[in-house]
Chain A
Amino acid sequence: MEQRPPSITALFERHLALGAKMAPFAGYMMPIQYRSVLEEHHAVRSGAGLFDVSHMGCIDVEGKEAAEFLEALSVNAILKKAPGRATYTLFAHPEGGTIDDLIVYRLSRERFYLIVNASRKEIDLRHLAEYAGSYHVTITARFDLSILALQGPKAPEFFPAFQGKAPMEVWEEGELRLSTTGYTGEKGGEIVGPKESIQALWDELLQKGVQPIGLGARDTLRLEKGFALYGHELSESILPTESVSKWAVKTEGREFLGKEAMLRPKRYAFGVKLKEGIAREGALVTKEGEPIGVVTSGGFSPTLKEPIALLLVDRKLSINDHVEIAIRKRTSLAYVVPLPFF
């Protein structure tokens, strides 16, 4: 693949001024942490945190048959969703492998936008274009827009537009697209808009006392909630029905790309707590010595103060079942727990 220098978001200078540790992520120089991953994690669980997620891709899908088009590509039902609703879903290949996981936002009968993973933007666009064929639909990449996530129990206090809203709502206020969606399991939402407005909003929210949060804490926050991260829990060789996102696959009374292939999953996703040690992605999982799968994400849960991991294994496990996870030269015992972890 061609190596390009990383892109930057409209908030890059602000991250530097805040002293963030920056690193390339999905082609963007992004803030990994401002002060400490643990501090930032706790700030979101107990107060409010602000994330620059402008590396993610906004794609407008509009037209008379936009709903039918998205319905045909989406594992979750879109057609029956009313305007003003957002839906977590996945796109899959005809063979069932996952193209991406995303949120579909319905602004009106014929106007939708998607927010897709940074690492999958171009692939999503190609996928949409490939299947748009006979539908009356216009697909527009809106990678010019910036995106903020304001998350935490106090988020609605800092941003009153989120007050009194249910989760997974979407609406417009002027040039901003607001939604009560996120990736932390907390209250609050996401704000999409032109870069000048987003820069001004970032400054205003930080000035009010909201903490900036880097990608490090974004990962620990999503892992505690058992949410998938594309490239880890999901990939082109993992079916949506083999992942922690399988709840989003709605097969009854509807057809969609990849449906047949994903009806027969061969693997299963589970969450475990470890007795000791931190399990990292790729670690071998065994049951009584027999290899059964791998760790897809692992880390330390700052809220629970214990190590947790997501697994992809070749058999069904029950809550409290024990498995072993290879950590460097040793193995650690782990036991299956219900998701989310917290």
Chain B
Amino acid sequence: MMKYTESHEWVREEGDVATMGITDFAQRELGDVVYVELPELGKSLVAGKEAAVLESTKAAADVYAPLTGEVIAINSRLKEEAELINRSPEGEGWIFKLRISRPEELQALMDQATYLSRTH
């Protein structure tokens, strides 16, 4: 089930693991992404705090951790193919996976209908 943050990240929760990335709306606003700074594997992230950086042709944008947890996978393809963020923001352009330590935080995130109503 997809959930969304106020800062335009999406998160897909499967058991205690969550995959995250930025939304289609966010990639359109950002423009062409040319460089991605990924978090380190094993790093502990706190919901709402900086987790990664996307550099577009225009500017740098922080990506925030949608949930608290430990980074258990990063999308290494983004190192060579940052454009996946633009081409497939909610698919091949995922950024990292977390082992969720505070599942109750999911309740605070928006569902798709709410998120889309905010960005359209």
Do A and B assemble together? yes
Cβ of A15 under 8 Å from chain B: no
Query: What residues on B are CB-neighbors of A302 within 8 Å?
Result: 34, 57
Query: What residues on A are CB-neighbors of B31 within 8 Å?
Result: 33, 36-37, 216
- When the two chains form their complex, are residues A280 and B32 in contact, meaning their CB atoms are under 8 A apart? no
- When the two chains form their complex, are residues B35 and A300 in contact, meaning their CB atoms are under 8 A apart? yes
B-contact 0/1 string along A15-58, CB 8 Å cutoff: 00000000000000000110011100000000000000000000
Q: Once the chains are docked, how many angstroms separate the CA of A315 from the CA of B58? A: 29
Cβ of A278 under 8 Å from chain B: yes
Cβ of A84 under 8 Å from chain B: no
The one of A38, A216, A277 in contact with B55, judged by C-beta atoms closer than 8 angstroms, is A277
Cβ of B60 under 8 Å from chain A: yes
- When the two chains form their complex, are residues A36 and B32 in contact, meaning their CB atoms are under 8 A apart? yes
- When the two chains form their complex, are residues B58 and A278 in contact, meaning their CB atoms are under 8 A apart? no
Cβ of A179 under 8 Å from chain B: no
Q: Report if A300-B58 is in contact (Cβ < 8 Å); known contacts: A277-B37, A278-B34, A278-B35.
A: no
Query: What residues on B are CB-neighbors of A276 within 8 Å?
Result: 35
Cβ of A328 under 8 Å from chain B: yes
Q: Once the chains are docked, how many angstroms separate the CA of A277 from the CA of B60? A: 10
- Where chain A touches its partner, the secondary structure class is mixed
- When the two chains form their complex, are residues B35 and A37 in contact, meaning their CB atoms are under 8 A apart? no
Cβ of A240 under 8 Å from chain B: no
Chain B residue with the shortest CB-CB distance to A220: B57
Q: Report if A300-B37 is in contact (Cβ < 8 Å); known contacts: A37-B31, A216-B31.
A: no
Cβ of A188 under 8 Å from chain B: no
- When the two chains form their complex, are residues A300 and B57 in contact, meaning their CB atoms are under 8 A apart? yes
Query: What residues on A are CB-neighbors of B37 within 8 Å?
Result: 277
- When the two chains form their complex, are residues B34 and A300 in contact, meaning their CB atoms are under 8 A apart? yes
Cβ of B106 under 8 Å from chain A: no
Query: What residues on A are CB-neighbors of B58 within 8 Å?
Result: 32, 37, 216
Chain B residue with the shortest CB-CB distance to A23: B58
Q: Once the chains are docked, how many angstroms separate the CA of A299 from the CA of B86? A: 18
- When the two chains form their complex, are residues A278 and B32 in contact, meaning their CB atoms are under 8 A apart? no
The one of A37, A277, A328 in contact with B32, judged by C-beta atoms closer than 8 angstroms, is A37
Cβ of A307 under 8 Å from chain B: yes
A-contact 0/1 string along B41-84, CB 8 Å cutoff: 00000000000010101111000000000000000000000010
- When the two chains form their complex, are residues A277 and B57 in contact, meaning their CB atoms are under 8 A apart? no
- When the two chains form their complex, are residues B60 and A280 in contact, meaning their CB atoms are under 8 A apart? yes
Q: Once the chains are docked, how many angstroms separate the CA of A297 from the CA of B31? A: 19
Q: Which 10 A-B pairs have the closest CB atoms?
A: A300-B34, A37-B57, A278-B55, A38-B32, A278-B35, A37-B32, A36-B32, A216-B57, A37-B31, A220-B57
Chain B interface (Cβ < 8 Å from any Cβ of A): 31-32, 34-35, 37, 53, 55, 57-60, 83, 86
Q: List, sorted by A's number, 10 A–B pairs whose CB atoms are closer than 8 Å.
A: A37-B32, A216-B31, A220-B57, A277-B35, A277-B55, A278-B55, A278-B60, A300-B57, A307-B34, A307-B35
Chain A interface (Cβ < 8 Å from any Cβ of B): 32-33, 36-38, 216, 220, 276-278, 280, 299-300, 302, 307, 328
Give 8 new A-B contacts, CB below 8 A, not counting A38-B83, A216-B58.
A32-B58, A37-B31, A37-B58, A38-B34, A220-B57, A277-B35, A278-B35, A300-B57
